[in-house]
Copies of this chain bind each other. A is one copy, B any other.
Amino acid sequence: MEIIRSVNTIQKKINTIIGRNEQIGFVATMGFFHAGHISLMKQAIKENDIVVTSIFVNPLQFGPGEDYDQYPRDEDRDIQLAEQSGVDILFVPDVKDMYPKTMHINMSINERVNVLCGRSRPGHFDGVITVLSKLFNILRPDRTYFGMKDAQQVAVVDALISDLNFPIEIVGLPTTRENDGLAKSSRNVNLNKNERIQAVWLYKALKKGQEFVIDGEKNPDIIVKKVMDIITKQTTGTIDYVELLSYPDLKPVSVIDQQVVLATAVYFEHARLIDNLLFDEKGNLINVFKQGEI
């Protein structure tokens, strides 16, 4: 595996790869890899000639008071894990190379953001689309891989690719789960023993919600209410939100007649957990979200 830290160097490398007509798969990360990241890399390896993983903790997507400085970093471990996974190039630019001067161009997104986790992070997704536009132009991938755990991020990147005609296919891969069903997250270690047992009820409650749709329920309010009731009853956590929205548009629906996401965020004492399920109007689970052509 090649480790490249300079924008200029990797641009030349990408020129060579494209000159050989090889297809590039790209996994954008902020490092501190867990099983979710690895599954993205492995899928990218299956579908492309060359896989580039980037590690860049993007200051632009952290608000004032958010944890940019405290964001966990472990580059040595990440390098080892990426190499073991079969990644070809690890791109680790520093902030000065990515943002050499104050940006003159500003990007913002005004849909798909004022719901779910975006509601409490104003400007967060503006930073995400800016850094991804830069990374897409630097790395020129054919396909880019994200985890559906952050379904809203996938919806935002989908809007970016579609609105600005990036010639990139976006692939949203299923959330990686523990044996009992809990979505994997670096934050799970912050749960105490009791909370860890309860936490699986986020997933179980969403599954229940999905089952109601399979059984013919079309009213999103009823589904949301049932999911909330289960989480409230089965956990000591405090619900941030349970929402059922069209996907990837992330608009409220009055009746479930299209592809939707059922998502929740719950505060435990030292961890805020999120989870979601994507399914069609009949309740059939959608595992992989794909948009765009090559």
Write the residues of chain A forming the contact surface with B, with a CB cutoff of 8 angstroms. 7, 11, 14-15, 18-19, 21, 103-112, 129, 133-134, 137-138, 140, 159-160, 163-167, 293-294
Contact = CB atoms under 8 A, between A and B. Distances in A.
Contacts of A21: 19
A165 B108 CA distance: 17
Contacts of A293: 11
- Identical chains in the assembly: 2
B167 A105 contact: no
A138 to B, nearest CB: 5
| A contact face: mostly helix, strand, loop, or mixed | mixed
A63 B126 CA distance: 25
Contact of A164 (B14, B18, B133): B133
A167 B14 CA distance: 10
A150 B159 CA distance: 32
Given A104-B111, A105-B108, A109-B106, A137 B166 contact: yes
Contacts of A11: 165, 167, 293
A73 B218 CA distance: 51
Contacts of A107: 105-107
Contacts of A138: 165, 167
Contacts of A111: 104
Contacts of A164: 105, 133-134, 137
B163 A105 contact: yes
Given A106-B108, A107-B107, A111-B104, A165 B18 contact: no
Contacts of A15: 167, 294
Contact of A104 (B112, B133, B165, B167): B112
B167 A103 contact: no
A131 B104 CA distance: 17
Contacts of A294: 15
12 contacts: A11-B293, A15-B167, A18-B18, A19-B21, A103-B163, A104-B109, A104-B159, A105-B129, A105-B164, A106-B109, A134-B163, A134-B164
Contacts of A105: 107-109, 129, 159-160, 163-164
For A11, A109, A167, which residue has the most chain B Cβ atoms within 10 angstroms? A167
Contacts of A129: 105
A104 B163 contact: yes
